[in-house]
Amino acid sequence: MQFTVLGSGAGLPSKKRHTQSYILDAVDETNQYILIDAGEALQHRILHTSIKPSKVRSIFITHLHGDHIYGLPGFLSSRAHQGGEDLPLTIYGPKGLANWLDITFEISGSRLNYPLSIVEVGHKDCIEIDNFKVHVRLLDHNIDSFLYVFKENDKTGALDPDKLKGIGIEPGPLYAEIKKADVFEFNGETYRTSDFTGPDITGRKISVHGDTRVMAEPEYLSLIDRSDVIVHEATYLDGEQEKAHRYFHSEITSVLDNLKNIDYGALLITHLSNRYEDGFLNELAKELPSGVHLTHDFFEHPILRNSQENK
């Protein structure tokens, strides 16, 4: 599994940073990409990667500001001609998303050749997609903006071949049948499969924020605690906490202070204002704690199993 930042800039695009779009690559796990937000020039960003639009089966929109959605109609239209014919796609996002897309497609005369579902989400919803449960949490922005916490389902531990050999079962096709069952019979005896497997493998957890002020509520912090990856905006990087709060955004020092009492594997800082020069960003990056990254367009972060524990 991998998290890719296609667009890392805030508000206005620049020559080096496009606006917000992310890809959660779950191709190895569920044969799909999950797209989170769809900033302007999303299609152009994808052209520089190996991502196949036809394998995007779920899209999550954090909020309806233009820098997070203006690339969506173009992507949906192009997907129809990039192998997406007849392949269903579901978009999750705030109230108003369906109306905006309906009007956009009606006025532009656009037609899709695949089933499109639009699900408008709310605070504390829980969505199930393939191998994930996605928890939705309202953030603190000047319009409804959501946090999406992607929790991969736990996996049953691997079979212990030595234990199975101990009762006379040699490796073979029977192993697959045993793993699928809670109990199995062999030579007239009944056994519990759990007695022959290792510990369950904990699913990975990825917490992706839309635009927001820093939030310190215990319920919110508990929700993102023990994330393998946290993606959080920091539009302000130079100590302007009051300005960040006034404009419903976050400042990096406040973000770090707020998260210091929870556990996480990596913190990806995004939504960076284009007013910061490379020299400033490079110096700031040197001062950040281990595991905290100032992202850029095409930044990639692999999400390994147990990455939080191995921080």
Q: Can you say which residues are annotated as belonging to the binding site for Zn(2+)?
A: 63, 65, 67-68, 141, 211, 271
Give the residues across from 192 on adjacent strands: 183
Using CA atoms, how far residue 266 sits from 76, 173, 190, 232, 301, in Å, is 31, 40, 45, 11, 9
Provide the 10 A C-beta neighbour count for residue 127.
17
> Sheet harboring 227-233: ordered strands across?
126-129, 132-138, 146-152, 205-209, 227-233, 264-270, 292-294
Give the residues across from 230 on adjacent strands: 207, 267
Establish whether 278 is a catalytic residue. Answer: no
Q: Enter the DSSP assignment of 272.
A: B
Candidate list 25, 37, 67, 228, residue with the active-site label: 67
Q: How far apart are CA 30 and CA 142, in angstroms?
A: 35
Give the residues across from 5 on adjacent strands: 22, 299
Q: How far apart are CA 310 and CA 291, in angstroms?
A: 11
Any alpha helices (H) in the chain, and if so which ranges?
A: 27-30, 42-47, 66-69, 72-79, 97-108, 161-166, 174-180, 218-224, 241-246, 252-259, 278-287
Positions marked active-site: 67
